[in-house]
Each structure stands twice: as structure tokens, then as C-alpha cells.
Amino acid sequence: MGLFDKFENTATLLKGLLAASPRDPFSVSMDEMKGPTRALVDGKEIVLAGTNNYLGLTFEEAAVEAAVEAVKTSGTGTTGSRFANGTYAAHRQLERDLAEFLGYQHCMVFSTGYQANLGAISALAAAPHDVILIDADCHACIYDGCQLSGAETVRFRHNDPESLDKRLSRLSPDVNGKLVCIEGMYSMFGDVAPVKEFVEVAHKHGAHLLLDEAHSFGVFGENGRGVCEADGVRDQVDFYTGTFSKSLASIGGFVASNHPELEYLRFSSRPYMFTASPSPANIAAASAALARISDDNSMRDKLWSNARRIHAAFTQLGFELCADVGPVIAVKLANKEQAFMAWNVLMENGVYVNLAIPPGTPNATSILRLSVSAAHTDDDLDIVVNAYTALSHLLMSKKADA
């Protein structure tokens, strides 16, 4: 008996799966980046179709230049938390810019999106009188925020406002604050939440709604403000959380709100107070990306047209897809073993996607998660479609042999 016994199951599972896999999907190294959608892996150029670079802004000239300039003028790191010496004028400016872009009065920038959710949820809800209600498929950082808060946490069925309604109806009248947590678009399957219905149900019961638009910021809504904008309820969302690590092509996170009490989180949120603030380069890159998103809808249009093309091609190839057209297009495979094999086939054909297997996936499914970027060229998409065509032929021939 010892500290390491708990790793035995993981070790056995990995050993079995990797024995039959020419490559390890969980330790791919991008040896040299060739742009937002290409990298050299083991000496071979690969199309990157498993990133969160939805708008393809990681090599955006203005963002790169702003980051370089910020390093020259403000240094490589802040060496302190937002609460102490780690708030620069640029952090404050980005908070104002995000608040203005999203149409909220208050915004707090955190060091990552993970910490934004962790910090918001753990500071807003507290034991013993508050209750958090979360969608069963929420991201790990939302679950971790619940745990850090210590408040009672109740899960409701994924994307099911009726299930939330029932859970809220059953709460004891002694409950004080109620915080409902959902996401705009879910990252694994790419399915979208009925945000409008959730807002209605939450507010009917006097609960506050926290909406994580990590994967939908910049992508959904007429101006890229997320699923809540597309649903026409942006101003009714109590707490809007997001990340810089996807459409904003940097590192960092934020919480925005019209509740003035958000400002008190600067004095009570441990993940805000007890970690170093985002570096000047990260802030400068996110600010430049935000300026680009505010000024230019063409990237979003390109993203959606790329997504439509891939979704239609995969549907025609007969793959079982997890959601409607969107920036995440996930294909369901029969089991873990088949998913490993399929992932390797795509790599052999020059395409990197994300392999996701239980327990990290909803409903214990094994999937290949492809994400579309506005930076994908027609050439990139041709390579992707050819690789999936090769995979579909292989799966069909294996089925015929079985």
C-alpha cells in the first residue's frame, strides 16, 4: 500500500492501449510551428485540426508585434499577483476593453480561464447556506471551483433546463444563494446550450447564472460575444467567464458582470489573489486579438464556412457526429481501441486531431475531436477530408471482414 497505488489502473490502461498504437496521442510534440494550422511532428508537416485556435490569431502580425513590444517595455513577467504588484495599466485597460466589448460594467482578468472559473465560483458561493447547480458536462475547472467553494453542489442533466427547474424546485427554503453554472458551447462534442431557457429557469427561482463562453467567445453571436448574444440574453447573464487561450490566442481568463459586487472578488478570490498575473506579452497579445475581433467579422465568417464544409464532408462519409455544424466537429468511434487506431490513421495521413476517451468524455464515449480554424486554408481542408476518407474506407473494410 502506498502513495502510488492509485496510478495502477491508469498505468495498466495506458500500457494496453499504447502497446497497439504506433504513436502516443497524449505526448505529441509540435517540434516546429509553421503557422497557426501547421507544425512539424517527427519531421513531418502535419495539419493542426485539434487546437482551440478558432480564429487562427496566434500568428496575427499585430498581436505578435504588440507582444514583442510589451516584453521590451514592460518585461517578461510581472512577478506578482493582481492583488499586489502584478496589476499594470495594460491589465486594467484590457478589463475595460473586454467589459465594453461584451457590454458589462465590470470585468476582472485572471491568469488563466481555469482560474477565472475557479476564482469566480469559489468566491461567489460558500458553505453552508449557498448551493451551486451545475450542468453534468461542465469543464473540470467549474467542478473544481465548486469543490474549492465548499458549497453543496447539485448536478443537473446536460443541456436540460427542465432538469435544472426540477432541482431548483426541490431545494430547501433555507438555501441562501443559488448559483447555476453552464457553458455556451461544450468543448468535447461541440454542442450548444439553450442559454435563453437556462436564464429563464435560473431567474424564475431567484438563482444567478454563470455562463462560461470559453469556446464560444469570438465564434457565436453577431459580434462574436458568444451564445448568449446569439440567444439575445447577453444582458441577463449574471457572470460571464472566458479565456484568452482560444479565440484570443494568448493565455489568461476573465469574469465580466453587471453586478458591482464582482469587484469584491478582488479581495476574496484566492485564485486571483495568490498567483502571478498574466505576463505583459500575454496581455498585449490578447488585447490585439480583441481589437481584431471587434473590428472584423470576416474571420468568424471564414470559420463558419470551413465548419460547414467539414461537417458536410464527414456526414457524407457516414461518420457519426456529436453535434450540428460548429467549430468543434467530433466523430464517435465504437470504443477506445478503435479510437486509438483511427487517431493513428489520421496522423499517418498528415492530420492531428484530439483523441478523447473515457473517463474524460461525456457518456463514456470515445471520440476524435476536430476543431476548425478560420486560418485553415482550402489546402488544409482538402488534406483533412482526404485523411478522413482514408479512415472511413479502413473502418468499412474492417467491418466487412468482421
Ligand X SMILES: Cc1ncc(COP(=O)(O)O)c(C=O)c1O
Stretch 102-131 residues interacting with ligand X (CB under 6 A): 112-114, 117
45 in helix, strand or coil? Answer: strand
β-partners of residue 7 are none
Stretch of residues binding ligand X (CB under 6 A), selected from 158-166, 210-218, 291-299, 361-369: 210-218
Q: What is the tally of helices (H) and strands (E) in the chain?
A: 13, 14
- The Cα 379–Cα 376 span in angstroms is 8
Does residue 150 come out as left (phi exceeding 0), alpha (psi in the -120 to 50 range) or beta?
left
d(CA 390, CA 395): 9
Residue 212 touches ligand X, criterion: CB under 6 A: yes
Q: What is the DSSP letter of 172?
A: -
Residues 178-197 that bind ligand X (CB under 6 A): 183, 187
Among 63-71, 211-219, 283-291, 378-386, the segment contacting ligand X (CB under 6 A): 211-219
Residue (187 or 392) nearer to ligand X, CB: 187
The least distance separating ligand X from the CB of residue 242, rounded to whole angstroms, comes to 8
- Residue closer to ligand X by CB (options 53, 117) is 117
Give the full edge-to-edge strand order of the sheet including 351-352: 32-35, 38-41, 44-48, 351-352
Site for ligand X in 248-277 (CB under 6 A): 253
DSSP 278: P
Q: Which of 193, 214, 328, 339 binds ligand X (CB under 6 A)?
A: 214
Binding range to ligand X, per CB under 6 A, among 14-22, 209-217, 306-314, 344-352? 209-217
Stretch that binds ligand X, among 57-65, 207-215, 225-233, 306-314 (CB under 6 A): 207-215
State the cell numbers at 319.
Answer: 461518420
Cα gap 166→174, rounded to integer Å: 17
333 Cβ contact partners less than 8 Å away, ≥ 6 residues apart: 339, 342, 366, 367, 368
- Of 53-112, binders to ligand X (CB under 6 A) are 112
Is the separation of the CB atoms in 387 and 86 below 8 Å?
no
Task: Indicate which single residue of 91, 139, 300, 309 sits in contact with ligand X (rule: CB under 6 A).
Answer: 139
Quote the least distance from Cβ 52 to ligand X, whole Å: 7
Out of 53, 243, 287, 361, which residue is the one contacting ligand X (CB under 6 A)? 243
141/383 with CB nearer ligand X: 141
Which residues contact ligand X (rule: CB under 6 A)? Answer: 112-114, 117, 139, 141, 183, 187, 212, 214-215, 243, 245, 253
